[in-house]
Structure 1
């Protein structure tokens, strides 16, 4: 029973350090081009890592998810907005799951 509270405390402490240490240790503007580039892309990579597996697992047929992913990438590549891309991908999954 007491180990559960220790685990919760350790998770809290690690999460707290991850958020507080950069604020306390880095007070000046980051001028290193590599680090700035890395920090710029971190949110996009995190979103991609969470989204891509969900696209494949959320559908009944993985092939429908893959087709939707490819269509969404093509639409986005050619400048399609978020809403039309989401609608096209949703319709693709719906139609392909009806067919397959």
Structure 2
């Protein structure tokens, strides 16, 4: 069976274009339904969370380090820390957690 890469690329481009063009062509009035407006407002945030959360758990060598970094990051965001500070803090938490576990493993040997 022959695979045509150009067909795959064309299909992906068409689907991507339809997702963006159809709402613009079909919905001409302002959306007044509060539920639908609320739903559409949160779609980008939910999409980002769904893409990011598995990486938070899978990226560190120790999944618990990722979970602890997530908790620290949420608390820091709640306290008003900026994004660069949150990213640095979360990286530091993962680094420290993995260093402690590595050190404890070396002591156990």
Q: Same fold (TM over 0.5)?
A: yes
Q: 1:99 offset after TM fit, Å?
A: 0.8
Which of 1 and 2 has greater Rg? 2
Question: In the TM superposition, what whole-angstrom CA distance separates every residue of 1:35-60 from its partner, at most 9, and x where no partner exists?
Answer: 11111101100110111111111111
Question: In the TM superposition, what whole-angstrom CA distance separates every residue of 1:11-68 from its partner, at most 9, and x where no partner exists?
Answer: 2222111111011111111111111111110110011011111111111111111110
Q: What is aligned with 1:13?
A: 14
* Pair 1:30 & 2:31 matched: yes
TM-score (norm 1): 0.88
Which fold has the larger relative contact order, with Cα–Cα distance below 8 Å and residues 6 or more apart in sequence?
1
CA RMSD of the aligned region, Å? 1.5
| Length, aligned pairs only | 100
4+ residue segments displaced more than 4 Å: none
